[in-house]
Amino acid sequence: MSSDLETLDPEADDRQQVALALSRLDRRLEPVLEPEMRRALVLEWIQGVDAEGFCAVAGAVLSRTRSADPLRRALCDVLTSVPCPRLDYERRKELYGEAASRGDEEIMRLLRTVPARERVDDPERLLSKELAEIPLGRRRALARGNHPQWLEQLARDCDPIVIANLLANPRTVEADVVRIAASRPVAAASLVEISRCPRWFSRNPVRKALARNPYCPVEIATGVVASLPLEDLREMRGDPDLHPDTEAQLRAELARRSGDQS
């Protein structure tokens, strides 16, 4: 990303500097249609700005109320490490420390990694008896095929490559992916694969199913909640399966966007 996004006017006050940085980021992302490229641009900005400047600008982005906000959505996805190159551990630790010193609970929620509410200790037990008898290489090949009866069964496979092949299969439709994203119990690796698939992770029904799944990694669920449409957030209110971090993000989003009709 151009260095002008990291270089601010030293004579401007803090609010002016944040406004300037926001304007530059918005202008840079506005013509970019692909979510993956937006995330790449935001990640590059994060890597080039100091922790104090990051928290000031990120806090301003997260305070914006519209769900249909390309910069806000890209920022939430990058902070929760989906589906783009991860912020390295030391950088996440540095940003988290700055957010903690400011008492910025939202940035802290989006940066931290905590266990899912539920987990499958033995993912292999999710396989049907018929599938369990099929060698892994053959299951991976079947996931690329055109046999509906196998594709439906393979949706509960615990192997990430099987799931990735299913997601790339041209016979797979949105309803199939929502079904995988909503499956309970399910191996967390399967849900992570969905978050890494640009074709499906951009779909709000898929994102909502992930956010509501207690087996979904919390950083993914919390990041998704931060950018779902308001009507989806209202539907999720009171869901007993949400992790406390995800529920806290949901409450914050509802409070922030109470007047947003987008």
Structure confidence at residue 35 (pLDDT): 84
Distances (CA, A) of 249 to 93, 124, 179: 20, 32, 24
Mean residue pLDDT of the chain comes to 87
The DSSP-derived string for 97-109 is HHHHHHT-HHHHH
- CB atoms near residue 137 (< 10 Å): 9
Per the model's pLDDT, the better-predicted residue between 67 and 255 turns out to be 255
- The answer to whether the CB of 67 falls within 8 A of the CB of 227 is yes
Q: Is the pLDDT of residue 6 over 80?
A: no
Q: Where are the alpha helices (DSSP H) in the chain?
A: 14-29, 35-48, 51-62, 70-79, 89-102, 105-111, 129-132, 136-142, 148-154, 160-168, 174-182, 188-195, 198-201, 204-212, 218-225, 230-236, 244-256
Mean pLDDT within 71-78: 90
Amino acid at position 233, single letter:
L
| pLDDT value, residue 68 | 78
- Specify whether the CB–CB gap between 45 and 1 falls below 8 A: yes
Which conformational region is residue 238 in: left (phi greater than 0), alpha (psi within -120 to 50 degrees), or beta?
Answer: left
199 pLDDT more than 80: yes
234-254 pLDDT, tens per residue? 999 999 999 999 999 999 989
From residue 83, alpha-carbon distances to 36, 43, 99, 226 in Å are: 8, 11, 23, 15
Q: What is the pLDDT of residue 67?
A: 65
Give pLDDT tens digits for 122-180.
Answer: 888 888 888 889 999 999 999 999 888 888 888 888 899 999 999 999 999 999 999 99
Q: What is the pTM of this model?
A: 0.81
Give the mean model confidence (pLDDT) for residues 32-50. Answer: 91
Please tell me the predicted confidence (pLDDT) of residue 244. 92
